Amino acid sequence: MALTGLPEAPLGPPEHLVDTLEVLARPFGKLDALALLGERAAHMGLWRRGTISCGGSCRLLTSKDGYLAVSLARDEDFEAIPAWLELDHAPANAPAAWSAVADAVATRNLDELTARGVLLGLPVARVGEAAGQVPASRLSLGAAPARDPAGSIVVDLSALWAGPLCGDLLAGAGATVIKVESPARPDGARRGPVAFFDLLNGRKRSVALDFEDTKGRETLRALIRRADVVIEASRPRALEQLGIDAADEVRGRGPQVWVSITGYGRTDAGARVAFGDDAAAGGGLVVWLDGAPMFCSDAVADPVTGLAAANACLDALASGGRWLLDVSMAGLCARLGGPTLPVSPDVVVAPPRARPAVRAASELGADTAQVLAELGLRT
């Protein structure tokens, strides 16, 4: 509630959120599921801001026929505004950009805004558009014995929050987790806050590979084939450009479980860009006041997806078989929404809290030589 509602007044959570998170957290012992939602906020000093996301990069705007979530988190998002909204010139600064976007959205229909935004690679979503979408599907790709996560090798190719949290929870369950990054494009979360990056990656070993180099790509494929589990949170074409097809790798007796996290699923919407706040809004995981939506927690699609993906991975390992897990952030959020619960007038709102980091995360590539040598790949 510290992260949900108006700055001056908290709102309750959606009806199904808390109970579902507690169920998903059960396989992980004494894990505080609700703390996961506020860990970034605890490290960054964030608070609730109503129709502006806690982190400030996403807003809920009113259109002619509904509500639109718009994230402007990257330079290219701001650069795309004139083409998206058919403006004659680019706004001079961020406040001017948000003003221009709000004015233009107010005069247009959701279908047009969303279709043009998605075409231009903008993270935009109609509030509740993913209602009814399957949150996670399991594609069976062959037989394999059941496996305990303890001792399993997990290759974590993901970045930012959802995927890294999944890897961290599997590390806590006993898996050996290897975080793989490209020196040219390392995990953006390394830019801070450091304590939050340590929390999500302190239990992992760090391998750096040059994805632009032939030998680097060969080593990446070899590392994937030695893994029991792979976690990735990129659009399918990103790995395909490196010559890696998730289904082929699993089917070819590579990793037993492949966890693929995307904004809206791997199929038709697989090329769609999404971040935690807009994906949550797309799934309808918002709260409501006087008929208007407001953000629920901080980029909530990220932590709930990380927890759900780790839970699904444990289930897949325990059940045996070879699996491609297609986890949709917006689809998952669509299952967690519901009516906004009322708040008692005398409620005391606790500040966001975070688990303590086990240790500092490894420097980029610090464990490359040792990990590859141990796996018999190359030194």
User: Which residues, other chains included, contact 351 with Cβ-Cβ below 8 Å and sequence gap of 6+?
Assistant: 2, 42
326 given a catalytic annotation: no
The C-alpha angle 221, 227, 230, rounded to 5 degrees, equals: 80
**Does 120 fall in a domain?**
no
User: pLDDT digits over 221-251, tens only?
Assistant: 999 999 999 999 998 888 989 999 999 999 9
Domain at 191, CATH number: 3.40.50.10540
Q: Which domain holds residue 222?
A: 1-44+129-379
Residues 321-356: tens digit of each pLDDT: 999 999 999 999 999 999 999 998 888 999 999 999
* 133 within some domain: yes
Position 328 in a domain: yes
- According to the model, what pLDDT value does residue 136 have? 75
On whether the CB atoms of residues 54 and 48 are closer than 8 A, the answer is: yes
The pLDDT value recorded for residue 313 is: 97
In this predicted structure, what is the pLDDT of residue 132?
Answer: 80
Residues of the chain with pLDDT under 70: 268-270, 378-379
The pLDDT, as a whole number, for residue 269 is: 65
Q: Which of 302, 326, 346, 367 is catalytic?
A: 302
* Domain presence at residue 183: yes
Give the chain's domain count.
Answer: 1
